[in-house]
Amino acid sequence: MKHSPWRGAAVAVVAVVTVLPMLPVVLWAVAGAWRYPALLPPELSTRGLRLLLGDGVLAALGTSVLVSTSVALLACLVGLPAGRALGLHRFRGRRLVQFLLLAPIIVPPLAVTLGLQVFFIRYGLADTVAGVVLVQLVPTVPYAASLLAAAHADLDTDHEQAARVLGAGPVATLRHVSLPLLRPALVTAFLLTFLISWSEYVLTLLVGGGRVTTLPLLLFSAIESSDRTAAAALGLLVVAPPVLLVLALTRVAGRDVAWMGVSRA
């Protein structure tokens, strides 16, 4: 199969547009002093690397991974039955349910958080990792439910019915039939909700109260302090895990889509 030369050119353009803005960030991360009109840093420094290896940054990295992974898993867990109900069934008030589901991302998150913060304080969830995870479900569950509703709308339920006819129970049908068919959508929903949680700043700051420190909090703090080396190093650290996750999950989703296409053919 021959590939069009335009396809290679388009890939090259996308790669350049994606990578080029990161070059100044990489240079600032290793720059000792970089002043105008120097085109490149006159001297290099390992201060940015030493900063990334500090206990505070490593602890924030661990907290970010824990919070984002928990939020993504819970959002998919909640969004799966909600998406099934919205995607497969037609019932009175369905449009209203869809609107209410999307309301948290239509309304400014700051207003929603200020209202929820009272309940978090009352039930002892403020300034805790659990509280940050729960509040970040507000903007992530709507996306997960919407994606999984679209996937369920295209789901061929004949496979599930065939499994039941052959004696499979609800759990076995879900595990061996429904989830494999929905795996590409689940991977997409997990990835999207993980990225939303990973970059969340306002909700984490308000509910975490500064005691739950994630990488975006450290990054914004470095930007406000005008420490460009620290900001660039932290920016690279913030970007790296999502990029690796996108590459890994894209390969998984791509294999699943290819397998599904072959099996249907």
Instruction: Out of 54-58, 94-98, 103-107, 250-254, pick the least confident.
Output: 250-254
Residues 150 and 239 in one domain: yes
As a whole number, the mean pLDDT across the chain is 81
Residues 28 and 143 in one domain: no
State yes or no: pLDDT of 161 exceeds 70: yes
pLDDT at 36: 72
Instruction: Out of 19-28, 103-112, 205-214, pick the least confident.
Output: 103-112
Residues 16 and 132 in one domain: no
Q: How confident is the model at residue 257 (pLDDT cuts 50, 70, 90)?
A: very low
Q: Identify the DSSP state of 31.
A: E
Number of domains present in the structure of the chain: 2
The range of the structural domain enclosing residue 29 comes to 1-45
To the nearest whole percent, how much of the chain has pLDDT over 70?
91
* Three-state DSSP class for residue 97: helix
Residues 76 and 132 in one domain: yes
Residues 118 and 168 in one domain: yes
Residues 194 and 242 in one domain: yes
Residues 124 and 27 in one domain: no
pLDDT digits (tens, 9 = 90+) for 41-53: 777 777 778 888 8
121 burial level (CB within 10 Å; 0-12, 13-18, 19+): middle
pLDDT at 261: 43
Where do the DSSP E strands lie in 98-196?
Answer: none
Q: Which residues 6+ apart lie within 8 Å of 162 measured at CB?
A: none
CA distance 65 to 8: 35
Measured in residues, the chain has a length of 265
pLDDT at 262: 37
State yes or no: pLDDT of 200 exceeds 70: yes
Residues 171 and 51 in one domain: yes
Residues 58 and 187 in one domain: yes
What CATH number did the domain enclosing 145 receive? Answer: 1.10.3720.10
Residues 175 and 212 in one domain: yes
pLDDT digits (tens, 9 = 90+) for 113-156: 777 888 888 888 888 999 999 999 988 999 999 899 888 888 77
Residues 26 and 76 in one domain: no
pLDDT at 34: 72
Residues 51 and 154 in one domain: yes
Q: Which residues 6+ apart lie within 8 Å of 50 measured at CB?
A: none
